[in-house]
Amino acid sequence: MKKKIITGGTIATATDVFKADILIEGEKIVQIGVNLDALEAEVIDATGKYVFPGGIDPHTHLDMPFNNTVTDDDWESGTVAAAFGGTTTILDFCLTAGETKLSDAVEKWHKKAEGKAVIDYGFHLMISDLNEETEKELPLLLEQEGITSVKVFMAYAKEFQATDRTLFKAFKIGKETGAIVMVHCENGSVIDELVEEAIAKGNTAPIYHALTRPPEVEGEATKRAIELAHVAGATLYVVHVTCKEAVDEIIKAREKGYNVYGETCPPYLTLDQTLLAKPGFEGAKYVWSPPLRPKSHQEPLWNALKAKQLQTIGSDQCSFNFNGKKQLGLNDFSKIPNGGPFIEDRFSVLYSEGVSKGRISINDFVDMISTSAAKIFGLFPQKGTIAVGSDADIVIFDPNIKRTISAETHHMNVDYNAFEGLEVTGEPVSVLLRGEFIVKDKQFVGALGGGKYIKRQLGKGALSTLEAVSN
């Protein structure tokens, strides 16, 4: 079998930082040690670089119908951009709304990905409604497809929002199967009322997207999800946490021993609400949900990450071109498709703003960008770390390169970058997926369809905290 050896680099995992060689045989890491015998192996020189486990992005929406349109990055452009950004596995949301059988939705998602994905992937199942049939089908489908996570929306009243009854049923199924229940926590009904009120007053500009979704409605929904999950005995994962109100609820629940995980996303850590007030219609570039918050919410998010009260960083990749689909809301902010392009810069922005600026340690960074998601979603130890027996998903990262993020140089299929002009320190130089280069010296060398669907094991991710639950 073909061998490769990565030499001279500094390996960083969620727990350690050390200098050693990594021997790869086929798709796996077979040996880690000092001065390994490189005979017959292709030598990859990583001198002066960090060697990280491949990034795992637990939150993407590729080629997804949403807000009367469809996201602009598909499984080709989205995963190529992810690869450049140091991500080797994504977990994408499979939309089931409108399907009679959940399995039809999963088949559709497989077809979207097959022949296109250049990195490995799995699916979370999005549940808008549970009836007698789908309730029966869901546990079997999870088992059969190796899906360990479902997602329920408390917002988007016109599209995805589930009733509390459906949310609670999902929690019950989560408890029975060991699947983790991911929830978008915003009070969709209250938001709809605030949106109608704003539009009636003629407040149609993008900034009203943020002003009609105040942090209180995120905090309130977060608390409701936490209590309902607890009553059902399910493990809850709060997606895209943006504000102090929601963080406080998560911390309180975790301190009580509840099984709650939280994710945040790079824009909430680095950008703020004033961007939605940019002149002209430019604020539409920054319309996603929950919205960007005033700057004062960033510190509580960083602190919660550092304290491991929030565990993961998702991109929430959900891209729409500015000179395209975003224009749907030119005269009415509520018609601006919600979402932004983040899959490519998730890794670099967290490294630069987090590690380079001294906010988090290098181990915390690896944990947030890869290891925690692997553990929570049942991918560990196949993915999420550098260890003997793990997939050789590896990022060779130059911590000294400085570059400026720009739509001119990114690989996503959209005409703007929300981080445009942000100077970052550090960049993935080469990326391996299961032992093969997909990015080599900043050139894409992967293959369309080279990414593999990864079946996950139910109950595995949630195990450690399930054991910690008191009542």
Q: Which of 145, 218, 220, 316 binds Zn ion (CB under 5 A)?
A: 316
- Calpha distance 451→464 (Å, rounded): 29
Q: Which of 318, 349, 395, 422 binds ligand URP (CB under 6 A)?
A: 318
Q: Please report, as residue ranges, which positions from 328 to 347 form the binding site for Zn ion (by CB under 5 A).
A: none
Between 153 and 437, whose beta carbon lies closer to ligand URP?
153
Q: Please report, as residue ranges, which positions from 4 to 63 form the binding site for ligand URP (by CB under 6 A).
A: 61
Q: Which of 134, 161, 289, 417 binds ligand URP (CB under 6 A)?
A: 289
| 471 touches, from ligand URP, Zn ion, none (C-beta below 5 to 8 Å by class) | Zn ion
- The order of strands in the sheet holding 312-313 is 55-60, 87-95, 120-126, 149-153, 180-184, 236-238, 260-264, 312-313
Q: Does 338 bind ligand URP (CB under 6 A)?
A: yes
CB of 90 to ligand URP, least distance (A): 14
Q: Does 268 bind ligand URP (CB under 6 A)?
A: no
Q: Does 371 bind ligand URP (CB under 6 A)?
A: no
Rg (C-alpha) for the chain, rounded Å, is 21
Q: Which residues of 161-181 are buried (b: 16+ CB within 10 A; e: fewer)?
A: bbeeebbbbbbbbbbebbbbb
CB of 239 to Zn ion, least distance (A): 5
Q: Does 184 bind Zn ion (CB under 5 A)?
A: yes
Residue 89: strand pairing partners: 56, 120
HSE at residue 442, side-chain half, CA atoms within 13 A, is 8
DSSP string, 212-265: TS-HHHHHHHHHHHHHHHHHHT--EEE-S--SHHHHHHHHHHHHTT--EEEEE-
HSE at residue 293, side-chain half, CA atoms within 13 A, is 26
Q: Does 372 bind ligand URP (CB under 6 A)?
A: no
Between 177 and 289, whose beta carbon lies closer to ligand URP?
289
Return the number of other C-beta atoms located less than 10 Å from residue 423's C-beta: 10
Q: Does 298 bind ligand URP (CB under 6 A)?
A: no
Between 316 and 391, whose beta carbon lies closer to Zn ion?
316
Q: Does 471 bind Zn ion (CB under 5 A)?
A: yes
Residue with tokens 């607890």: 230
Residues that bind Zn ion (CB under 5 A): 184, 316, 471
Residue ranges that bind ligand URP, judged by CB under 6 A: 61, 184, 288-289, 316, 318, 338-339
